[in-house]
A = this chain, B = another copy of it.
Amino acid sequence: MAKEQLRIFKIGGKVVEDADQLSAFLESFARLKGNKILVHGGGKWVSEMSRRLGIEVKMIDGRRITDADTLEVVKMMLAGVANKNVVSKLQGYGCNAIGLTGADGNAILAEKRPLKNGIDYGFVGDVKSVNREVIRNLINTGLVPVFAAMTHNGRGDLFNTNADTIASRVAVGMSKDFEVELNYCFELNGVLKDIDNPASVIHEINQNNYAQLKAEGVINSGMIPKIDNAFDALAEGVKQVRIMNSKHIIKLAEGQNQVGTTILN
């Protein structure tokens, strides 16, 4: 029997933290037919609230050092404010959302990241496994899981985990049950040939043209890790990865499919 489709969207803090952008995104997300999951970040709110509470914000290579005080702020702003804003707004658009962290339903197990180059990232979790039975049961009862970027170790500890990583691991995990499309939403229209020209979207990247595009220096170096991660997800069973502008979800809601950059094996 053919697998059902499941679409996973990841939005970052920039969308979540702007009330108008968030409402516009969620209104279209709610209109999408079929099985779906939303994963969200909200890191700027964590930094802002940390500063308000006098907690030092420490980042190394864009990764947050999460000490015990910062973990409390992550619970407050990601699992609390961001997740409940998204869920309540989706309910307002008629989408039966249910907010989750990796601890809820034991959905995403992780372990504390080991020291790397002597750096202790604190309460940061590397994903070990995704509980596809629990997530599938929620979807099958008509619910739309909305993940805040937190995980747990099953021994009582919560962790901060990168939202891109959660989206990718959930996509891979759910690929055993569904034909999964993973959509990374950000502020650009996709992978651009010319970073200054928003119309220069490369519509499709596959194993054949990727090496050539890289050799020609067409792809911005900042995009390469994202695309490499996309190929990793494809290798592990995800059907399609897309990098797109969060504002263009309205096109998907209206049935267009030529949106952003599609990455295929």
Contact = CB atoms under 8 A, between A and B. Distances in A.
Interface in A75-106: 75-81, 83-85, 87-89, 91-93, 96-101, 103-106
Contacts of A76: 76-77, 80-81
A41 B196 CA distance: 51
A11 B241 CA distance: 44
A185 to B, nearest CB: 21
Given A85-B158, A88-B152, A88-B158, 20 more contacts: A72-B81, A75-B84, A76-B80, A80-B80, A87-B103, A88-B157, A91-B103, A91-B106, A91-B152, A91-B154, A92-B154, A96-B134, A98-B104, A98-B105, A99-B100, A99-B101, A99-B104, A105-B143, A134-B143, A141-B141
A79 B88 contact: no
Given A75-B84, A80-B75, A99-B104, A89 B134 contact: no
A103 B79 contact: no
Contact of A88 (B88, B96, B103, B137): B103
Interface of A: 52-53, 72, 75-81, 83-85, 87-89, 91-93, 96-101, 103-106, 134, 137-138, 141, 143, 150, 152, 154-158
Contacts of A143: 105, 134
Interface SS of chain A: helix
Contacts of A79: 79-80, 83-84
A91 B53 contact: no
A39 to B, nearest CB: 16
A154 B138 CA distance: 20
A155 B134 CA distance: 28
Given A75-B80, A80-B75, A81-B76, A88 B52 contact: no
